[in-house]
Amino acid sequence: MKTGRKVLSAAASVFMILLGLCFLIPLYIMVINSFKNRAELYMSPVALPTVLRIENYAEAIDRMNFLTSFMNSLVVTVSSVFFIVLFSSMCAWMLARTDDRKSRFLYFAFVATMLIPFHTLMMPLVQMMKWSREYLGIPVLNTRYGIVFMYIGFGMSLAVFLFHGFVKSIPVSLEEAATLDGCSRFGVFFRISFPIMKPTIMTVIILDIIWIWNDYLLPSLVLNGKELRTIPLSTSSFFGVFTIQWNEAMAGLTLTIIPVVIFYFCAQKYIIKGVVAGAVK
């Protein structure tokens, strides 16, 4: 009886792992085809490559301008996330700690606009970017700070909502004690409240990294120059109007996924926590 049960549970475990591996088959197909030459790729996309053609990677790096676009993605993501966390935590803290009509209204505005899809804002936003250069002399199109600013704006709603919810759950007494000891409002926020918010800070960082790193549409509207392209924009260079060089494209896609996989394995614990916390919005 006991051994029967053990065998059954072992079989179930094996089944589960196999299912997990099935889930990764598309990535496997991507990797094996990234090493093939064209003839081999078309002969059978599921067979293992007979020779490892590393040149695909060199060509992909060249074609995507991989290092530049990787750095662009990194700079845009890191700076956007930094400012989103800073501004939204400050704002949400103040709104949660001030109980008056304008704070409640502002909070409501942040939360209600989460329903607006990006496609509703995209065209007017592009027009505004053009006006900004024409009438104010501030170029926004084709600048890194322009896209970072837009990510800050788009990131506010969810981040303010998450921080606000968390601040409401921290007792005020600690902050009051600090104020009595002569701590300024800034001191209270940066020395006491901000460090306590760490779980929410991690959630916001994780969710926004995943969002901004993978975002395609906004950068495609803002960044036209080849030297400013982010990773998602550069992958589209494989998929032009004419025939697709699948082996090179697969090498390129593999390259773009490697940083994501590394990030996943380093921060898995936080990612899963962040996803759970972010979903209960």
Partner 1 sequence: MVTNRKNERLIYLVFTMPATIAFFLVVIMPFAIGIGYSFVDWDGIVLNPMTFVGLDNYKRIFTDERFIASALHTLIFTLMAVVTINVTGLALALLVTSKLKGSNMARTMFFMPNLIGGLILGYIWKFILSDTFRSIGETTGWTGVFFNWLLDPLFALFSLVVVITWQMAGYVMIIYITGLQSVPDDLIEAAKIDGAGAFTRFFRITFPLIMPAVTVCIFYTLSNCFKIYDINLALTGGGPANATELFAMNIYNEIFSYNRYGYGQAKAIIFFFLVAIVTLTQVALTKRKEVQL
Output the CA–CA distances (angstroms, integers) from residue 145 to 74, 138, 151, 215, in the order listed: 13, 11, 10, 16
Q: Which residues contact 267 (CB under 8 A, 6 or more apart)?
A: 206
180-239 positions binding partner 1, by CB under 8 A: 185-186, 189, 210, 213-217, 232, 235-236, 238-239
Pick the binder of partner 1 from 2, 3, 5, 23 (CB under 8 A). Answer: 23
Task: Report the residue number, 78 or 87, with the smaller CB distance to partner 1.
Answer: 87
Question: Contacting partner 1 (CB under 8 A), which of 119, 136, 169, 182?
Answer: 119
Three-state secondary structure call for residue 52: coil
Q: In terms of CB distance, is 78 or 94 closer to partner 1? A: 94
Query: Is there binding between residue 156 and partner 1 (CB under 8 A)?
Result: yes
Q: Which listed range, 48-56, 120-128, 164-172, 192-200, lies at the site for partner 1 (CB under 8 A)?
A: 120-128
Stretch that binds partner 1, among 38-46, 61-69, 164-172, 174-182 (CB under 8 A): 38-46
Number of residues forming the site for partner 1 (CB under 8 A) = 89
Which residues touch 43 (CB under 8 Å, ≥6 apart)? none
Q: Encode 197-251 in three state secondary structure.
A: CHHHHHHHHHHHHHHHHHCCHHHHHHCCCHHHCCHHHHHHHHCCCCCCCHHHHHH
d(Cα 194, Cα 120) in Å, to the nearest integer?
34
Among the residue ranges 52-60, 117-125, 171-179, 192-200, the one whose residues contact partner 1 (CB under 8 A): 117-125
Among 61, 74, 78, 90, binds partner 1 (CB under 8 A): 90
Per CB under 8 A, does 266 bind partner 1?
Answer: no
Provide the token pair at 165: 């919810």
